[in-house]
Structure formats: structure tokens, C-alpha cells
Amino acid sequence: MPDLRALEPNALWNCFADLNAVPRPSKREERVVAFVRSFAEQHGLTSVLDRAGNVILKKPATRDRQGRPAVILQAHLDMVHKAADGLKFDFDTQGIDMWVDGDWVRARGTTLGADNGLGVAAILAVLASKDLSHPPIEALFTLDEEQGMGGALGLQPGLLTGKTMLNLDSEEDDTFTIGCAGGVDTLASLDYTEAGHGPEEPYLAIHITGLRGGHSGLQIHEGRANAIKLMARILSACGEKVAALASMRGGSARNAIPAQCTAQIVILDQPRFDDIFAQEVAGIREEFRLIEPHLSITTQPVKPVHGHIPTMADFVQKPIVLALQAAVNGVYRMSPVVPGLVEASSNLSLISLGNGHAEWSGLQRSSVDSSKVDVARAFAAPFEMIGAKVVQDAGYPGWSPSAESPILEKMKTIYRDLFGHDVKVSACHAGLECGVISIAYPDLDMISFGPNIHEAHSEKECASISSAQKFWKLLTATLAAM
């Protein structure tokens, strides 16, 4: 099997391998921050922490680019930690186990961290280089992008001097991104009355697994199944008189389409449950047979820990299950301006229910502020109607495309000269940090690009080796021309 560290460009892949040995979950980036600052010390670079904990490294221009304006290279340090169903993997202590599969780098059973690890690695490789031509470099490594863009939202003004920023967090090597969606996080919670059931009643778990999951922005238009929504559908079909809900857990991250969900239920009417469950599962399998070929919906007997089995009272279960089924999920509105672009969407992301308390959350996105507010209200509406406590954060802004971007025009020419064809220019439905960073630095000329990365935010995430080579060639040529 090929050695990842022997791949070209060698500097990029070695930096990526070093980075992936360091756990870096959102909101707990202390170890990767220490890694980056140690890297700076080893290479004699200036290192600064801003008040939000973001890391800024600075490197002087090479001799041939003296006197040129500084360029900001930006990527986020955190990654989504997700393992395949049933895999025991401790992200707090284990590095990512990578392997080479033809033209693809993959991880064994977990997210790869190419989002945004390849962007981080590319910046580190530029900073460590001794033979690349470049202007002064200001490398901005932000925190907590995957869990709400906390680092970018807290970015301290006045520490960066560059007026051009290259964001290295896109995932298609033939596309320059010049705009993105903003987002709102919605959290709902409800304390509920419990009912008791004896150990003589059938007690079982419903497991929904094998779904593709994926990025809740980039893949939301593909119609991938949401495991939490499927579970709500099954429970709604059965009804509270047939199956009493004891617990429910599903989802892995706020910005990932849920690929798994488990509910524990007490069966109150076995014949009716068997009929309804079989019919509903058959319908789901038929509907998703093409897009979710590995969908699995199974039941498993559960032995009560104690004789008493607490479930939701039936007068509580019905409204909460119906609210989950009614919650806006998927594409909310397509853009009337950019053909094929999702304007607004919603993803029911996470749920934790049991022992008298339920919490669930979702992420709503839009490239238009007014529709971002609208879709967030629509998502919250059924939960407010049942009396749940609903909290929505201030959200983060989108990034409006600029028709007069000097860096866009320069890079379009460089791309054409390097690869012999024109690059695509587009906005994306994912949340990039560019719009948020412009709050602290409003005069930046920004562009986002990157290598081909597939299935980000899922254990199927992979990165193309040949595309990474193309990405590195474009990045280094751009720096040499600035």
C-alpha cells in the first residue's frame, strides 16, 4: 500500500499527516493550537493568539516579492469527528488512521479531516517552504468553524494588514467560490411527564443505520435521508397507543445530515405494531432504495435496567413526535437568481431524549438574510406550538458575491494559463467563514478554493491526490504572482 507521506506534493501531505495525528474537535482545539504554535517556533515565525483564541502566523516575503502587500491565507483548525456505526474510536486520544486507495486518501471508519485539514496543511507547507516565491504571508487559523464559527465571530480586528484573503475551505478543484450562505442554530428543549411500564411489557430498540449522512449544506439538495426524521415518521405511524417512547438518540454534529438514530420503546399493542412497522419500513425502503442503498432499520429486544421502564406520557409523546415529523428539513427554497443553487435550507441535526428531558437542534441556512430568518422561524414553529423552549442564536452572515474582485480576475487568468480551460465561478450553500471575517475586516477582497473532497462530515470522507496536486500548483502560482 502506498505511503501517504511519499505522495506529491510531499510538503503538503506530510503537514497533513502531522496535523491528523492531533485531535482537534470543535470547541476543544487546545492541542492543535499548541501544535501550530510549536510549528511556528520551529520555523522562526511570528505567532499571535487573538482574544478569541485564533492563531495568526506571519512570514516575511521572499526576496523577489519584497515590498508587495501581505496576503492572508485562512483555514479553520477544527474538524467534524464522526465514526462509522459500531466502530470504537476515541477521537480524544487517537489520530486519524489514513490509507491510500488509488487516487484517494481515506480514513479507516472515521471522518478524514480533509475539511479543512488540507487547507491548514497547505498553509503550513507554504510557511515552511524555502523555495517558494510569495509576498508577506499572514496565516489565519480560526477555531470552532464546525460548531458555529465561534472563532471567526470573535476575530479580533487590527491584527491583520492584508487586504486580500485566500480561504482554502472549498471542495471542488474546478470552482472558485465567491459567496456562501449564512446560518442560524436552533435549539429546542422540553421537560416532560413520564409514565411507568412494568418489565412484563415488550421493550425493544429501533435502530436506523447505514445512511449516507454528509454535509448539511453541500449535500442537502440530494434528498439524502435524515435518520431522525425517519424515526419520527415510524413513531408517528405507530402512535402513542401502540408504542410508548422511552428514549431517542440521533445525529452526530450540527452541520451533518443524521446518518443514525436509535429509539427505545415499550410495545403496548404487539399485533398492530408489527403490522404498522412492517408497512412503514417497506415504504421507506422503496422510497430511498436508490439514494440510500445501505439503509438498515432493525429492532432489538432490550432488557430493562430496572423493573420500572419510564416512557413519555402519551399526551406528551403525540405532540413532540408530530412536531419532529413536521419540522422543516431539506431544501426550503431554490435561488431565483443563481440556477441550481439552494437559497435556503434546514437540517434537523441532533436529538437526545430520555428521563423526562428532551433536547433537539437544527441548522438553518440561507444566502439571503430575510429568507434565513424565515426558514429559522418555520423550523421553530412546531416546537413553539407544543410549548418547547426554543432558543436561536444571532447566527452568522452570508458572503455576498462581488462582481469587481481583483483577486478573482487574477486567479481566473492564472487558472486558465495553468490548466488550459476556464474555471467555474459560483456561490455555495455551505457556510464559509469569509462573510463572518468581513465583520472584523470589512475591506477584504476574498476568494475560496480547494481540492476535491467528497462526503465531508461523514465516515466516507475522502480527498483526491491528483486534485490536491492541482490545488497546490494553483496556490503556489497565485502567491508567486502577487
Q: Mapped to the 3 state alphabet, what secondary structure does 164-197 carry?
A: EEEECCCCCCCEEEEEECEEEEEEEEEECCEEEE
Instruction: Return all residues near 163 (Cβ < 8 A) that are at least 6 apart.
Output: 69, 443, 444, 445
Backbone angles phi, psi at 260, to 5 degrees: -150, 150
Q: How far apart are CA 79 and CA 115, in angstroms?
A: 7
Catalytic residue among 145, 240, 280, 459: 145
Say if residue 479 is exposed, middle or buried (CB neighbours under 10 Å; 0-12, 13-18, 19+): buried
Joined grid coordinates for residue 370:
430575510
Catalytic residue among 29, 50, 78, 144: 78
> Is 445 in the active site?
no
DSSP state of 52: T
Helix axes 114-128, 465-480, angle to 10 degrees: 40
CB 426 within 8 A of CB 177: yes
Q: What angle do CA 256, 377, 223 make, to 5 degrees?
A: 35
Helix axes 314-326, 369-385, angle to 10 degrees: 160
CB 109 within 8 A of CB 453: no
> Is 78 in the active site?
yes
Shortest CA distance to 208 belongs to which of 296, 99, 119, 328? 296
3-state helix, strand, coil in the chain (%, to 5): 30, 30, 40
Residues with a known catalytic role: 78, 145
